[in-house]
Structures are given as C-alpha cells and as structure tokens.
Amino acid sequence: MVTLDAIVSLAKRRGFVFQGSEIYGGLRSVWDFGPLGIELKRTIKDVWWKHMIHQREDIEGIDSAILMHPNVWEASGHVSGFTDPLVECKTCNNRFREDQIEDTKICPEKGCGGKLTESKQFNLMFQTHMGPVQNEGSQVYLRPETAQGIFVNFENVMTSTRKKIPFGIGQIGKSFRNEITPGNFIFRTREFEQMEMEFFCQPDSADKWFKYWIDFSHNWFELLGIKKSNLRKREHTADERAHYAQAALDIEYNFPWGWGELETINNRSDHDLKSHSEKSGKDLSFFDEVSKKRYVPYAIEPAMGADRTVLAVICDAYDEEDLEGEKRSLLRFKPIISPIQVAVLPLSKNEKLAEISDEIYKKLQKIYRCQFDNTQSIGKRYRRQDEIGTPICLTIDFDTVEKDQCVTLRHRDTMEQIRIKIEDIEKEIEKLFTTF
C-alpha cells in the first residue's frame, strides 16, 4: 500500500502541493497548491459544481462572504458549542485533543511521558477584528463552515429564483478552524476549502432526502475514479454528532494511515433557520400553497473538503510497477480529472518538428488540458508524464513530417504505442478516454 511519505514526496517533486511559506521554514499545517495541484483541485470543484448545480433544476449556487456578522455565529451555536476538549503536557507544553489520545493522563509524545492537564473546551473559531480599533465591538470571526452563508441567504435565494420547497443552495469556499492537532498532510488543516450544499425540504421527508444524498455523494466519489473498495459509510454516534445534527453519516476513504472522513451528510433539522429567525427577528419559514401550512424547512447537508478529496484522489490513483528492475511510478487518474490530459512531445527541438508539434498542441489545447514538453529524452518525458497522471502522450518524430503524417500515441496504463493520422488524433483520444 502507498505510504503518506511517498505521496508527500511526489506532491512536492511534481508540483502538486508545497509547504506554505517554505523559504521561512514553513508554517505548520499550511499548504500551497502548485501548478498541477491547482489544476486537479479546480477540476474536482468543477466536476462537483457541474453535477450538483448545473445538471440539476432544484439547486442554485451562491458565493457568500467569509466575514459575517458576529450574531450569525451566536445564533448558529458556534460561539458556545463549536469546541474540542484540549489537554496540555506540563513537560513539553504540546497540546492534544483529549478524544484523540488513548491515555488522557500521560503525554503521547514519544519519549516525553509528562503529565497532562485537566481538559478544557477550546473554541475552534479564528477571531479577528474589523476596522482600525480593536475592541469588543469590532470582533468578528473567520467562518468555520460555509453553511451559515447559505442559511442567512435562504430567503434571498428562494425569492430571487422563485424556488419552492424542496430545493437546495450550494457553494464552494474557504473555511477556517483553529485545529488543536492538525496533520496528515492536507487532510486536516486550519485553512481549507469546502464544497457544501444545504437541501431544504419538508420535515416529514427529511429521512428520505438524507438517504438520497448519502447515495448521491457515494456515487460521486466513484465518478471521480475512487475505488469502491476504498470507500465506506459510517454513521455518527449520538455523542459524536455536531450540536446542530439530528443525524449524521460520514463517507470515509481508506488513507495510508487508515479510514478518514471525506464527506459528512448531516440532517440539520430546522436548527439553523429557526435559530436565525429568533436571533434576527426575520421570519424564515415557508408557506406551502398546496397544504396551506407554514413550517420551517429541514436542511440536509452534504459537506465535503476539496483538499481532502484531492488527497484521496492522489492516494487512490498512485501505483508502482517494476519494469525490468526499474520502478515506474504513476498516477492512474481518470481523464475527467487528470491535471494534464494530453502531452505533446516532439522527439527533438528540430524546427520542422517544432512547427507541426505547435500546430497540434494549439489545436488540442482548445479541447483538453495539454502540456508541451521537448526537454530530456523521450523515455524520461514518458516517466514524468506517467508520474503526474497524464493518460495520453503524443510523440511527433521525423517520420511525421517526412513520411506518413502520423504521430505515436502512447497509453499511460498499458504503455501501448500506436501510430495514428494527425487528422484522427481527436477521435482516437476520445475513444481511448472511454476505456479508462
């Protein structure tokens, strides 16, 4: 099985993920997405948006602000209830989440053995101040979830789009949590990006929609190419659920260190809309013209991390093969999410090869995510493209310009090479993409 060290090494070497502020020694649990990483992350977000928003008539998208009125977080319960149990070592002063260590009396740090303090509740929200003067009245928070921007805009979206219950509101955006023990690369960080949707429904249909969105989400991860055997569903226990959740289930992935949460589907009941109605004085109930009844809708919430999904996709795609004593590392991405879908590789920097290669590259660039590479030997270039997950390589050689007007198409997974006419390139790529 792939190790996390192998994934971290590949991620930096090939430009997927870099340590944040690395030239200054880095900042713990802060990561920057490099050229290939941002392509992979943007593509995953685009696929989510397409399937969650564009291909449905019952869900609208928004982009709410990170900074919100502090009353939002009081109404939602985050000011009083968004906490983790914190313990601190009296010897090394390291801090830990009490619920993540086996012995709550002795420091888990290797070689320390110091005594731990009594636990206390630690609020995970980042605090900051708005305006030039720092006082109690200027205090605001960096949002710990994108959901509240949806709830406070519930009526705005419903009125402007003329939606009726049931309908949903989705968004993608940054969230911030002052985690006590972040770690496992980009799995648990203090700054992350969420893909989140709130589906508003009648209270008596909430159980049906809860199951529907569990199945939808599980199938979506399979669409990305994640193996079914590496996914599982796990229901939350009563003492594990968030303060707003009536029911909750995680879709987990089998990471190198074990099972970890990819997405949580919550039944948030009418908690949020009712709380904001009471705090703001704004009626957020819905009047059903058919039943002639007024009620506060329930919200079913599929919420996933874009960064975690990137990590799961890389881990799932990573593979190693032995080729006559030499190791070949590759990422078996599905073409739909590959950062580079087609690589154009002229055999040399010869002027004639460069000219026809440039024509092919510019034409394909309008359709696919492409890369042009004419440095090093063709064998090394193939290995480089394998390691970043490029499914198709096209090699332009001297026979292309002098004899047959054909290029060599190489398949990443099988390493099979075939000669195809230049005019057949697009047709052949599309045919091969359906076989991945």
pLDDT at residue 269 in the model: 97
Per-residue pLDDT at 270 exceeds 90: yes
Question: CA-to-CA distance for 392 and 390, rounded, in angstroms?
Answer: 6
At 369-384, the pLDDT tens digits run: 999 999 999 999 999 9
At 101-153, the pLDDT tens digits run: 988 899 999 889 899 999 998 889 999 999 887 777 789 999 999 999 999 99
What's the mean pLDDT in 55-65?
98
Per-residue pLDDT at 410 exceeds 80: yes
Q: How confident is the model at residue 435 (pLDDT cuts 50, 70, 90)?
A: confident
Question: CA-to-CA distance for 144 and 78, rounded, in angstroms?
Answer: 9
What's the mean pLDDT in 233-240?
93
Ranges of each domain in the chain: 4-82+125-314, 84-123, 340-433
| pTM for this predicted structure | 0.93
Q: Are 426 and 368 in contact (CB under 8 A)?
A: no
Question: CA-to-CA distance for 306 and 262, rounded, in angstroms?
Answer: 9
Q: How many CA atoms lie within 13 A of 52 on its CB side?
A: 29
CATH architecture, range 4-82+125-314: 2-Layer Sandwich (3.30)
Token pair belonging to 429: 């790529």
Token pair belonging to 266: 């919550």
Residue with tokens 């047709």: 427
At 171-182, the pLDDT tens digits run: 999 999 999 889
Query: 3-state DSSP: the chain helix, strand, coil percent, rounded to 5?
Result: 35, 30, 35
Inter-CA distances, 72 with 128, 273, 277, 304, Å: 15, 11, 11, 22
Amino acid identity of residue 253, one-letter, is Y
pLDDT at residue 4 in the model: 96
Per-residue pLDDT at 332 exceeds 90: yes
Lowest mean pLDDT among 96-105, 341-350, 353-362, 394-403: 96-105
Per-residue pLDDT at 255 exceeds 80: yes
Per-residue pLDDT at 257 exceeds 90: yes
- Whether 4-82+125-314 and 340-433 share one fold: the answer is no
Q: How confident is the model at residue 1 (pLDDT cuts 50, 70, 90)?
A: confident
User: Which residues, in sequence order, are CB contacts of 209 under 8 Å at separation 6+?
Assistant: 166, 199, 201, 300
What's the mean pLDDT in 91-96?
91
User: Which residues, in sequence order, are CB contacts of 277 under 8 Å at separation 6+?
Assistant: 283, 284, 285, 296
What is the fold, at CATH topology level, of the domain defined by 340-433?
Rossmann fold (3.40.50)
User: Which residues, in sequence order, are CB contacts of 296 under 8 Å at separation 6+?
Assistant: 270, 273, 274, 277, 284, 285, 286
What's the mean pLDDT in 342-368?
95
What's the mean pLDDT in 395-407?
95
Question: CA-to-CA distance for 340 and 14, rounded, in angstroms?
Answer: 12
Token pair belonging to 61: 């998208």
For residues 16 and 82, which has the higher predicted lDDT (pLDDT)?
A: 16
